[in-house]
């Protein structure tokens, strides 16, 4: 058997010459890349081209640490496993659909037997391919003793739990947001206007950040702000993602009861995000963008359940079942969605901690704490307030600058959040709960 020389005379450097475009069809044949969401692959493929190497080039050496894996898209390569064991890989064959090598402690060496074209991606893709969650179990356990028997017996709930393990949730922005994005594209509007919409929409901002944190992009550090996400993946990929979510695919709700709750979900998220941002600005050292994002995605788990209900036969569920189910499903579903969308650990945990009033993550106040405080502030004056703890008993409350807020300061936070959204044109006064108006 032919073995690979270990000398450095054939360095793994691309050579000049024509390269191949990387297409969506190509990516959907590669394991495990093909398991990533299609919109992620589609945006990644834009302007992506192969690397070209001449015959005799050593593409990888056994034992070397690498942050990338290599796929052979054109040509022939030799994979040397040591101990006189090797095999050839030709493009277009089943073997070429798997990585030739890569990752820490690479166990093989690879040499180009002909001129080759390869795709190099971050080795993290081998560990993260868009599964529902890391352990492979569904986000909701229908046998969880905390789930009321009345909910467990619901046909809608049972059907959702049976489909939950697949995690194939088509989560799109609400129709009004999608229409605003389409309008900007139609009139060739400016990026600043588009940026405001994306920054304040839970689905668009989460998908964009998830794309940027994908292992396809060699993320050195997790991103929590959409401007940083745009810089990482590029303007063209960003535009393609928005077009995919708002133009090619448009959310249509058949049930008026579901649409009403989806709009209420969006409105509550926007207001919570604004309160989190004001709290971060005035009373903490937490990054403003991270605080806003945490507020937006805290209840993102509501959406897959509501969308599933809209597709489920209307005769099998009552609108009251939705209100009964959401408090029991949103935390697990939300954490699962954010994990699948590559959110960093602390932000991915927000849905599970958003109403954990006794949560104490340590001395430093975090975005999770701000979401908890915002949820309780926004419940003031509502019927739900009588079932909630006193706000000054929250561990998160005492971590605010000054050890908490006076009633007047709490009112100012809500007023500033309202004014900020109105000034940005993100929402109109109709989206604000009566609890805010009652403070006037």
Whole-angstrom distance, CA of residue 413 vs CA of residue 415:
5
Instruction: Tell me the Ramachandran region of residue 284: left when phi exceeds 0, alpha when psi lies from -120 to 50, beta otherwise.
Output: beta
Is residue 322 within 8 Å of residue 330, measured between CB atoms? Answer: no
- Looking at residue 113, its pLDDT comes to 96
- Looking at residue 12, its pLDDT comes to 62
DSSP 376-401: HHTTTTSGGGGGS--GGG-TTGGGST
The residues spanned by each domain of the chain are 24-126, 149-158+255-437, 175-246
Is residue 247 within 8 Å of residue 185, measured between CB atoms? Answer: yes
Whole-angstrom distance, CA of residue 113 vs CA of residue 74:
11
Candidates 412, 370, 411; CA nearest to 394 is: 370
- Looking at residue 168, its pLDDT comes to 64
- 45 vs 106, more confident: 45
pLDDT band for position 427 (50/70/90)? low
Least confident of 167-171, 207-211, 248-252: 167-171
149 by Cβ neighbours in 10 Å (0-12 / 13-18 / 19+) ranks as exposed
Mean pLDDT computed over 145-155: 91
Is residue 151 within 8 Å of residue 325, measured between CB atoms? Answer: yes
DSSP 233-272: H-HHHHHHHHHIIIIIS----S-HHHHHHHHHHHHHHHHH
Q: Do domains 24-126 and 149-158+255-437 have the same CATH topology?
A: no
Mean pLDDT computed over 32-51: 89
CB atoms within 10 A of CB 32: 16
CATH number of this structure's domain 24-126:
2.60.120.10
pLDDT band for position 323 (50/70/90)? very high
pTM of the model: 0.84
- Looking at residue 36, its pLDDT comes to 86
211 by Cβ neighbours in 10 Å (0-12 / 13-18 / 19+) ranks as buried
Per-residue pLDDT reduced to its tens digit, 225-237: 888 999 999 989 9
CATH number of this structure's domain 149-158+255-437:
1.10.3210.10
pLDDT at 61 over 70: yes
Residue 80 pairs with which residues in a beta bridge? Answer: 86, 109
Whole-angstrom distance, CA of residue 274 vs CA of residue 202:
12
Per-residue pLDDT reduced to its tens digit, 352-385: 999 999 999 899 999 999 999 999 999 988 888 8
Omega of the bond leading into 32 within 30 degrees of 0 (cis): yes
- Looking at residue 165, its pLDDT comes to 59
């Amino acid at each position: 058997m032919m073995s690979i020389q270990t000398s450095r005379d054939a360095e793994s450097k691309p050579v000049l010459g024509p390269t191949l475009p990387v297409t969506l069809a190509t990516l959907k044949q590669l394991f495990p890349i093909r398991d990533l969401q299609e919109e992620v692959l589609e945006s990644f493929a834009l302007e992506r081209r192969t690397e070209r190497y001449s015959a005799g080039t050593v593409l990888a050496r056994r034992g070397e640490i690498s942050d990338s894996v290599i796929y052979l898209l054109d040509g022939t390569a030799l994979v040397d496993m040591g101990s006189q064991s090797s095999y050839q890989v030709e493009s277009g064959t089943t073997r070429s659909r798997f990585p030739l090598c890569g990752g820490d402690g690479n166990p093989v060496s690879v040499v180009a037997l002909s001129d080759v074209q390869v795709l190099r991606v971050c080795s993290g893709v081998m560990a993260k391919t868009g599964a529902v969650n890391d352990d492979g179990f569904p986000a909701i356990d229908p046998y969880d003793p905390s789930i009321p028997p009345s909910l467990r017996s619901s046909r809608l709930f049972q059907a959702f739990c049976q489909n939950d393990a697949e995690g194939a949730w088509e989560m799109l922005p609400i129709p009004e947001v999608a229409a605003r994005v389409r309008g900007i594209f139609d009139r060739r509007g400016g990026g600043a206007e588009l940026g405001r919409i994306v920054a304040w929409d839970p689905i668009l901002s989460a998908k964009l950040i998830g794309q940027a944190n994908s292992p396809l992009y060699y993320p050195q550090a997790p991103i929590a702000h959409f401007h940083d996400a745009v810089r990482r993946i590029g303007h063209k990929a960003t535009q393609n993602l928005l077009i995919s979510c708002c133009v090619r695919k448009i959310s249509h709700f058949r049930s008026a009861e579901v649409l009403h709750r989806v709009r209420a979900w969006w409105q509550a998220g926007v207001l919570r995000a604004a309160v989190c941002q004001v709290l971060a600005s005035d009373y903490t050292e937490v990054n403003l963008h991270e605080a806003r994002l945490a507020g937006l995605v805290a209840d993102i788990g509501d959406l897959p359940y509501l969308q599933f209900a809209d597709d489920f036969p209307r005769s099998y569920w009552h609108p009251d079942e939705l209100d009964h189910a959401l408090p029991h499903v949103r935390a697990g579903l939300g954490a699962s969605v954010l994990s699948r969308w590559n959110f960093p650990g602390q932000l991915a945990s927000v849905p599970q901690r958003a109403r954990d009033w006794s949560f104490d993550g340590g001395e430093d106040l975090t975005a999770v704490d701000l979401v908890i405080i915002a949820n309780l502030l926004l419940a003031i004056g509502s019927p739900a307030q009588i079932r909630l703890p006193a706000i000054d008993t929250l561990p998160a409350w005492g971590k605010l600058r000054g050890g908490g807020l006076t009633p007047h300061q709490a009112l100012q936070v809500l007023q500033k959040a309202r004014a900020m959204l109105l000034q940005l044109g993100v929402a109109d006064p109709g989206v604000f709960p009566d609890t805010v108006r009652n403070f006037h």
